[in-house]
């Protein structure tokens, strides 16, 4: 007889409530501490998590959720998928692992990319004909045993075999990693066997890849794999977790598979509940109803969650309460916030609060709502307060949105703009510029830290930043760039900087979320209608423009990126939120223009990040994404030149949207793809200015002028000289001056040599 699962979460943050793992990793990498120190920190973090989750009252505690860097990399290592170039380094196990994650002097790291549509990044496994899958690392088993010694029975979590291979890339062209599925399944079988012998009653296999479109062949592969795993005689019960969206036809496949449980995300797409009702094979399975949002931070409407979970009751053998996905994507604990806006704080729920919500709902489902009446009342009050709060609904913002007309997001015809801009800017062919930020020097960071700590006052801080702008302008003039920037020294982050100045956003002190490895971000919380009480960047741009006769480019973050890198409200469509942000940016663009700024760049590096996982949902997304950009950038004169910056080289699904943005100049990442993107843009009739990045700022290497000249000549084959811009492929804030200065000089020389 299979045991019940009961209330659970699908995974947990692992960086540490005070980013202990980050510190331990960075100290180990810098050689300031040894492997034993790092392992000790890791052990404590794991134990605290297990104990904390068990004490909070979860019926089933997820195990194996800790990772030194990334859980996809862990899976690769577990099953022996270590590419030869790392194995050959002859390092110990942990350092081989870090070599794959971070590279060494001798070898670059594995490629990194986004984990579905989240802001978490995983390392892309390389699988080829010579990959030999076998169970080579038994961390999952060891951690199960360690937790049990503490008295906590865990449910080990693994990336499922299908998702693992779908996320991998072939190590040689023409190879399909899925060809290795049978061999990989052997290794999973072995691991399940060992977990069973260790005493594990449940194991969780994560298959988020099922939230994206899957071919019939892939569904067939799913069927075969889960039939094989299910048919194993000696194994834990299998819970397959489908999250980040509706599993579509894959649900029927899982229902027919000989597995015991399925975890469903009922938050991302509530229609998943209907699909469950229409899938008869689930009647003998345990369903984990993912009703608590694992990736957003709002306190749940527990009554609504109960209703959603209860609708599954007739369709399953057992229904229990869970999170929609792992809690990896939310911060640890709201209670750690001491400066958070006191009205907003009770509306929030981070990992610790979400665990409690799950426990509460679990009890309500089992014992009746009466036993948790107090919790339900409290939650109701918080939810009601948020709905009623004036700061959430600002009638001025709403009235302004209602009064918008279609022409508010249309500019004059491009040909006329182009002429007016040429007259106003008088730029040479192949104009040179940068993407906005200059290196954030130690002095700049120190000044910001001093301001925060109260060691300097705001006026002193401002003066230091103004001095830095002067230095950056002088340097650009000396190098001979054509369109200058102020360098963004005053910005801690391109989203947070704006969020701090806009109504409708709140900031946290400790709301860190892992982005990759030891890197964390602290997304602002977009809780209410967005309004710009005062100009935001105007002072800096105007200061810079007074220092030079060359045009200075104003620098703003676009609406989609503001949303993508924040926790956004869940009480209205994202399209509406984006339009509000767009209006705030629109006002800023106009103020910049009024201050004599003739070029304004609105960055949308995240345009592609919010792309829905399912193709059928993409057109609707792209429509509002494009519309909000245009709303932000259309309130100005013909002569004002709008730039945008997009931070990726694979356009595929968004290429038409790039045309539709209607920007005058678009800079894109292209150095690594050797300008191929230009041909793609031509194909869809793109006829605007384009700045394919000619140097890869992600590497400390200083490219020489021949190399950049060659790239420019390649670009000129696709783009006429009067449309081509010359720039690096991203902002320079993470680099140092000793790299940036020669690189920009070489870039400018290369442009001069290439000019007709």
157 contributes a contact to ligand MET by CB under 6 A: no
693 contributes a contact to ligand MET by CB under 6 A: no
Question: Does 550 belong to an annotated binding site?
Answer: no
Q: Cα(239)–Cα(288) distance, rounded to whole angstroms?
A: 9
Mode of pairing for the β-strands spanning 112-114 and 121-123: antiparallel
Q: Which of the residues 429 through 448 are near ligand MET (CB under 6 A)?
A: 435-437
- Taking residues 356 to 375 in sequence order and writing x for each that binds ligand MET by CB under 6 A, - otherwise, the string is --------------------
Structure token digits, residue 511: 């709301």
Q: Residues 287, 309: contact at Cβ < 8 Å?
A: no
645 contributes a contact to ligand MET by CB under 6 A: yes
Identity of the residue, 383 or 494, whose beta carbon is nearer to ligand MET in the bound complex: 494
- Taking residues 585 to 604 in sequence order and writing x for each that binds ligand MET by CB under 6 A, - otherwise, the string is ------------------x-
Q: Residues 421, 483: contact at Cβ < 8 Å?
A: no
747 contributes a contact to ligand MET by CB under 6 A: no
730 contributes a contact to ligand MET by CB under 6 A: yes
Q: How many CB atoms are closer than 10 A to CB 32?
A: 9
Minimum distance from CB of 632 to ligand MET (Å)? Answer: 15
Identity of the residue, 6 or 692, whose beta carbon is nearer to ligand MET in the bound complex: 692
Is residue 329 flagged as an active site residue? no
Mode of pairing for the β-strands spanning 154-159 and 126-127: unpaired
Cα 65 from chain centre: 19
Q: Cα(700)–Cα(582) distance, rounded to whole angstroms?
A: 35
Question: Does 325 belong to an annotated binding site?
Answer: no
Which residue among 18, 413, 698, 752 is the active-site one?
698
Among 482, 435, 409, CA closest to 646: 435
Identity of the residue, 481 or 555, whose beta carbon is nearer to ligand MET in the bound complex: 555
Identity of the residue, 222 or 435, whose beta carbon is nearer to ligand MET in the bound complex: 435
Exposure pattern of 599-619 as b/e (b: 16+ CB <10 Å)?
bbbbbbbbbbbbbbbeeeebe
Minimum distance from CB of 734 to ligand MET (Å)? Answer: 9
Identity of the residue, 126 or 729, whose beta carbon is nearer to ligand MET in the bound complex: 729
646 contributes a contact to ligand MET by CB under 6 A: no
Among 46, 411, 733, 735, binds ligand MET (CB under 6 A): 733
Q: How many CB atoms are closer than 10 A to CB 148?
A: 16
552 contributes a contact to ligand MET by CB under 6 A: no
Question: Does 105 belong to an annotated binding site?
Answer: no
Identity of the residue, 175 or 497, whose beta carbon is nearer to ligand MET in the bound complex: 497
Q: Cα(375)–Cα(380) distance, rounded to whole angstroms?
A: 9
Q: Which residue is nearest to ligand MET (CB)?
A: 731
Among 292, 555, 568, 740, binds ligand MET (CB under 6 A): 555
Identity of the residue, 9 or 555, whose beta carbon is nearer to ligand MET in the bound complex: 555
564 contributes a contact to ligand MET by CB under 6 A: no
DSSP letter at 692 equals E
Among 291, 481, 647, 694, binds ligand MET (CB under 6 A): 647
Which DSSP string corresponds to 206-261?
Answer: E-GGGGS---HHHHHHHHHHHHHHHH-SS--EEEEEE-SS--TTHHHHHHHSS-SE
Who's near 709: CB < 8 A, 6+ residues apart?
A: 750, 753, 754
Q: Cα(739)–Cα(703) distance, rounded to whole angstroms?
A: 9
642 contributes a contact to ligand MET by CB under 6 A: no
Identity of the residue, 152 or 494, whose beta carbon is nearer to ligand MET in the bound complex: 494
487 contributes a contact to ligand MET by CB under 6 A: no
Among 494, 631, 697, 708, binds ligand MET (CB under 6 A): 494
Question: Does 362 belong to an annotated binding site?
Answer: no
DSSP letter at 455 equals S
14 contributes a contact to ligand MET by CB under 6 A: no
Q: Residues 205, 240: contact at Cβ < 8 Å?
A: yes
266 contributes a contact to ligand MET by CB under 6 A: no
731 contributes a contact to ligand MET by CB under 6 A: yes
605 contributes a contact to ligand MET by CB under 6 A: yes
Long-range contacts (CB closer than 8 Å, 24 or more residues apart) made by 378-387: 379/299, 379/300, 379/301, 379/302, 379/303, 380/301, 380/302, 380/303, 382/299, 382/346, 382/347, 383/299, 383/300, 383/301, 383/347, 385/343, 385/346, 385/347, 386/298, 386/299, 386/347, 386/527, 386/571, 387/571
Specify binding-site residues for L-homocysteine: 435-437, 488, 603
Q: Which residues bind ligand MET (CB under 6 A)?
A: 435-437, 494, 555, 603, 605, 645, 647, 730-731, 733
Q: Which residues are catalytic?
A: 698
Specify binding-site residues for 5-methyltetrahydropteroyltri-L-glutamate: 19-22, 114, 119, 519-520, 565, 609
């Amino acid at each position: 007889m299979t045991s019940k699962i009961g209330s659970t979460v699908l995974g947990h943050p692992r960086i540490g409530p005070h980013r202990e793992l980050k510190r331990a990793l960075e100290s180990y990498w810098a050689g300031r501490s040894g492997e034993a120190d790092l392992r000790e920190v890791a052990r404590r973090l794991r134990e605290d998590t297990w104990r904390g989750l068990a004490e909070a009252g979860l019926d089933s505690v997820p195990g194996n959720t800790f990772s030194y860097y990334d859980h996809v990399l862990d899976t690769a290592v577990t099953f022996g998928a270590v590419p030869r170039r790392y194995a050959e380094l002859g390092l110990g196990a942990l350092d081989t692992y870090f070599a794959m994650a971070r590279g060494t002097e001798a070898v670059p790291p594995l490629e990194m990319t986004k984990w579905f549509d989240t802001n978490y990044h995983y390392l892309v496994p390389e699988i080829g004909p010579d990959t030999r899958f076998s169970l080579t690392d038994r961390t999952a088993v060891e951690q199960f045993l360690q937790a049990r010694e503490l008295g906590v029975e865990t449910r080990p979590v693994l990336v499922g075999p299908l998702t693992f291979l779908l996320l991998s890339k072939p190590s040689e062209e023409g190879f399909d990693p899925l060809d290795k599925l049978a061999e990989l399944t052997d290794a999973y079988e072995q691991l399940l066997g060992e977990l069973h012998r260790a005493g594990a009653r449940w194991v969780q296999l994560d298959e988020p890849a099922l939230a994206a479109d899957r071919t019939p062949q892939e569904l067939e592969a799913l069927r075969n794999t889960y039939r094989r795993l299910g048919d194993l005689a000696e194994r834990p019960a299998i819970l397959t977790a489908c999250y980040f969206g509706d599993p579509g036809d894959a649900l029927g496949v899982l229902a027919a598979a000989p597995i015991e449980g399925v975890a469903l995300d009922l938050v991302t797409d509530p229609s998943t509940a209907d699909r469950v009702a229409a899938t008869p094979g689930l009647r003998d399975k345990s369903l984990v109803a993912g009703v608590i949002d694992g990736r957003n931070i709002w306190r749940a409407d527990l009554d609504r969650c109960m209703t959603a979970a209860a609708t599954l009751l007739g369709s399953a053998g057992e229904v229990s309460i869970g999170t929609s996905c792992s809690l990896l994507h939310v911060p640890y604990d709201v209670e750690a916030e001491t400066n958070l806006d006191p009205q907003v704080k009770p509306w929030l729920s981070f990992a610790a609060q979400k665990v409690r919500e799950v426990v509460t709902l679990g009890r309500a489902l089992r014992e009746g709502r009466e036993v948790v009446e107090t919790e339900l009342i409290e939650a109701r009050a918080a939810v009601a307060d948020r709905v009623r709060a004036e700061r959430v609904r600002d009638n001025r913002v709403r009235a302004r949105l209602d009064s918008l007309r279609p022409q508010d997001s249309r500019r004059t015809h491009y040909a006329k703009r182009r002429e007016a801009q040429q007259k106003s800017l008088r730029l040479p062919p192949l104009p040179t510029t940068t993407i906005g930020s200059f290196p954030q020097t130690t002095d700049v960071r120190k000044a910001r830290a001093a301001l925060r700590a109260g060691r300097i006052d705001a006026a002193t801080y401002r003066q230091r930043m103004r001095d830095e702008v002067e230095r950056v302008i002088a340097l650009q003039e000396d190098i001979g760039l054509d369109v200058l920037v102020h360098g963004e020294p005053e910005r801690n982050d391109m989203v947070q900087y704006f969020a701090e100045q806009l109504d409708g956003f709140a900031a946290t002190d400790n709301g860190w979320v892992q982005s990759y490895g030891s890197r964390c971000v602290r997304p602002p919380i977009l809780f209410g209608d967005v309004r710009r009480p005062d100009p935001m960047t105007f002072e800096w741009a105007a200061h810079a423009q007074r220092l030079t006769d060359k045009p200075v480019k104003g620098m703003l973050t676009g609406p989609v990126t503001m949303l993508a890198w924040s926790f956004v409200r869940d009480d209205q469509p994202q399209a509406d939120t984006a339009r509000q942000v767009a209006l705030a940016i629109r006002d800023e663009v106009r103020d910049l223009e009024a201050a004599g700024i003739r070029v304004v760049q609105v960055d949308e590096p995240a345009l592609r990040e919010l792309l829905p996982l399912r193709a059928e949902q993409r057109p609707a997304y792209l429509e509002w994404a494009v519309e909000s950009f245009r709303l932000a950038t259309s309130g100005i004169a013909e002569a004002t030149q709008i730039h945008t910056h997009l931070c990726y080289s694979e356009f595929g699904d968004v290429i038409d949207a790039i045309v539709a943005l209607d920007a005058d100049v678009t800079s894109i990442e292209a150095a690594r793809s050797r300008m191929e993107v230009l041909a793609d843009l031509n194909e869809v009739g793109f006829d605007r200015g384009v700045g394919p990045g000619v140097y890869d700022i992600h590497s400390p290497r200083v490219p020489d002028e021949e190399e950049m000249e060659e790239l420019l000549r390649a670009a000129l084959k696709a783009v006429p000289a009067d449309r081509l811009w010359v720039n690096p492929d991203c902002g320079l804030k993470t680099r140092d001056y000793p790299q940036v200065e020669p690189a920009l000089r070489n870039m400018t020389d290369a442009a001069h040599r290439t000019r007709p």
